[in-house]
Copies of this chain bind each other. A is one copy, B any other.
Amino acid sequence: MDEEKGISKAVIARLPRYYRYLGELMEEGRERISSQELSQRMKVTASQIRQDLNHFGGFGQQGYGYNVRFLHESIAKILGIDRQHNLIIIGAGNLGQAIANYANFERGGFMIKGMFDVNPRLIGLVVRGVEILGVDDLERFIREHDVQIVALTLPKAKAAEIADRVVKAGIKAIWNFAHVDLVVPEDVVVENVHLSESLMRLSYRVSSIQDQAKERALRERGDQERAAKERSKARRLQVFEEKKAAMR
């Protein structure tokens, strides 16, 4: 079996993207695909693809291609999305509701068992058939509904306290949207989604492009002194370009 060989963390990190493309191929009714065609679709070299998918045993046959469904199912097994994960969402604001409504998750075996909030004005509301509960009985709910994953979409002021509570209640996986670094025991995994840091990275890259454009405009106007000033700013762009190159 695949794990016998031990799969590197770099390959694991790439699996969700393979899984997505294979799912699209299945929607198109494709049964097989060659590493060459997959390479063109995913903008990854064919040899990279062959290396990665070799981990799943010899079902990439020369000149015959990969069995899409089998590969899709094998990757699902590795990622653990072939089994059911019970999930609750704590923080029933817009982001929490967005996640509750993200139907794709259930296709991946993620069952939203409950939604919670600390804001009394939200308690009792129903989102997609799920009633928003208060956090008083959080521990009992986690126990009774065999919850494995907690999505934290609370303001950061409340997130740390709630995280402590769910960890004490036995939760080993937190999907953290709160803009704070949670302190958890070694055996608890936290997947962070820091939206504002993502937006800052984008801002950095946009600003670099703006600075470079400004410098170009100044140079064209022959304003050498100010162009030099802008050039130093534009250094940022180099960094960004390196980054982009590194990602290719």
Contact = CB atoms under 8 A, between A and B. Distances in A.
A130 interface: no
Task: Report copies per complex.
Answer: 2
A141 interface: no
Interface string A169-197: 00011010001010000010101011111
Q: How large is the interface on A (under 10, 10 to 19, 20 to 34, 35 or more residues)?
A: 35 or more
B80 A196 contact: no
A7 B20 CA distance: 35
A99 B195 contact: yes
Interface of A: 1, 3-4, 6-9, 12-13, 15-17, 19-20, 42-43, 78-81, 83, 85, 93-95, 97-99, 101-102, 104-105, 108-110, 148-149, 172-173, 175, 179, 181, 187, 189, 191, 193-210, 232-233, 235-236, 238-240, 242-244, 246
